[in-house]
Structure 1
């Protein structure tokens, strides 16, 4: 790349801010818009070294590449807002959404954008020595721009192909197993606790290598993330339905997660407190 691109990150949460920070060495500037954002988002953006721009229109006018990493429920609204400002660069849709929705967003954003890239972030936020993967698919030149942007950073960018929807399908195929398994583990442990056999369950699970049942600390993490995981599992269920596969398991897991609505981002929540919330209808 002869000239480093200017990058815009939309609504930087814990993952978005960390990914945007990894783009800084390969970018001319990394911008974000603080309008309407809360104190926690402001703190994350400052820590990540992102440059504030007053209004979204100014960010989109200056950015060559825009990264959308936000809750899946608002992904289309965000893309619609970007298209309304006639963004003309490369739009990277990196949310946990079904392939059909990804294609709708590509059509929507593509009315003004030079290209749309389908992205899927899998892994923990790339901070503290951790790495993550941003799988990408889409037009070759736009995909190359994204992979070059993150070269040498903690964000690896495996290329899946040229088809919009491939990266989204991979993300939800993985999520449908990983997140539903965490929900099932919590429910199983809750049932064992209700009958006073939770220690015995841990003993049984401990004899099975890699069982989520032994990671009781993750029950609280699952509760705190339920507000994000529920809509993601709904997207995964939509993908299964579209492929002619049964979606009832993921719908049920999403409904279970809705019982943890009051636990949003509660970092100090204990597993017992999370299970207490789970038993309330």
Structure 2
């Protein structure tokens, strides 16, 4: 597509990597150094971003503005847009509900975005999921087309792109925390090697194993009490127990599915929702 001018609010590690992909595609990427750290300024200079003095200047010159910042700052950053009426890509790791609320407050055309994967470069690829008005999504897709930030359109529903990030992050981040607690329990009892052996033998990706979920629901009536025992073990060692008690709560939602090994995936997922 023809070269465009894009604004970045604000270029951290991931934002700078996305900006580098845009610049490599022939687009100009703007940022505003006012109030930003020396580290951010160095990263922006290394990436090749063009500095402007104020946020209003950035907005005036940008056909598209990306917000890529820590989740807690998403509303504050969106608040800088004022009467900006271009395309605003809300690409932060926030809930679909927060994205919908931001969309409702802005004059800009909002594209819901989420980024999964490492900062994209010549050696690694990230997926940039996009949802929102078709014309706006197509324009953003064109900006990123052919880059290591692979655009993945999801249709018009605001919140869909954020939901991919929340669903993936729910497992990917929580599983790391759960692994840490599991290894801490084993380490305290001197059985870390045995746990690692069992983990290696397990060799499965639970997030990809959809066929295993109905079986888990059928056995949850036995697994939930075991999770409470895990919680007690963790508490006694001074470790966090919330992951185990949370797992027990999830399994309690399947209490009526006891030993129903013909349950099927749609009912397994439906029965997790609170009535």
Same topology, TM > 0.5: yes
Task: Establish whether residue 95 from structure 1 lines up as the match of residue 89 from structure 2.
Answer: no
TM norm structure 2: 0.72
Question: Could you say what secondary structure the match of 2:154 adopts?
Answer: strand
Distance in 1 separating the partners of 2:190 and 2:119:
37
Question: Could you say what secondary structure the match of 2:127 adopts?
Answer: strand
Q: Which residue does 1:77 correspond to in 2?
A: 76
**Against the structure 1 CA distance between its residues 47 and 137, is the aligned structure 2 distance closer, same or farther, given a 3 Å change threshold?**
same
Task: Establish whether residue 197 from structure 1 lines up as the match of residue 195 from structure 2.
Answer: no
**Against the structure 1 CA distance between its residues 25 and 128, is the aligned structure 2 distance closer, same or farther, given a 3 Å change threshold?**
closer
Distance in 1 separating the partners of 2:179 and 2:205:
9
Q: Which residue does 1:37 correspond to in 2?
A: 36
TM norm structure 1: 0.71
Task: Establish whether residue 6 from structure 1 lines up as the match of residue 5 from structure 2.
Answer: yes
Distance in 1 separating the partners of 2:103 and 2:6:
19
Cα deviation, residue 55, structure 1: 1.5
Question: Could you say what secondary structure the match of 1:161 adopts?
Answer: coil
Distance in 2 separating the partners of 1:252 and 1:60:
44
Q: Which residue does 2:21 correspond to in 1?
A: 22
Question: Computing the radius of gyration over CA atoms, which structure comes out larger, 1 or 2?
Answer: 2
Question: Could you say what secondary structure the match of 1:67 adopts?
Answer: strand
Instruction: Provide the alpha-carbon RMSD of the alignment.
Output: 2.1
Cα deviation, residue 127, structure 1: 2.4
Task: Establish whether residue 149 from structure 1 lines up as the match of residue 161 from structure 2.
Answer: no
Do the aligned residues in 1 keep the contact of 2:114 with 2:165 (CA within 8 Å)?
A: yes
Question: Could you say what secondary structure the match of 2:202 adopts?
Answer: coil
Cα deviation, residue 250, structure 1: 10
**Against the structure 1 CA distance between its residues 181 and 149, is the aligned structure 2 distance closer, same or farther, given a 3 Å change threshold?**
same
Do the aligned residues in 1 keep the contact of 2:55 with 2:80 (CA within 8 Å)?
A: no
Do the aligned residues in 2 keep the contact of 1:133 with 1:157 (CA within 8 Å)?
A: yes
Aligned length: 212
Moved beyond 4 Å, runs of 4+: 248-253
**Against the structure 1 CA distance between its residues 15 and 143, is the aligned structure 2 distance closer, same or farther, given a 3 Å change threshold?**
same
Q: Is the deviation greater in 25-34 or in 141-150?
A: 25-34
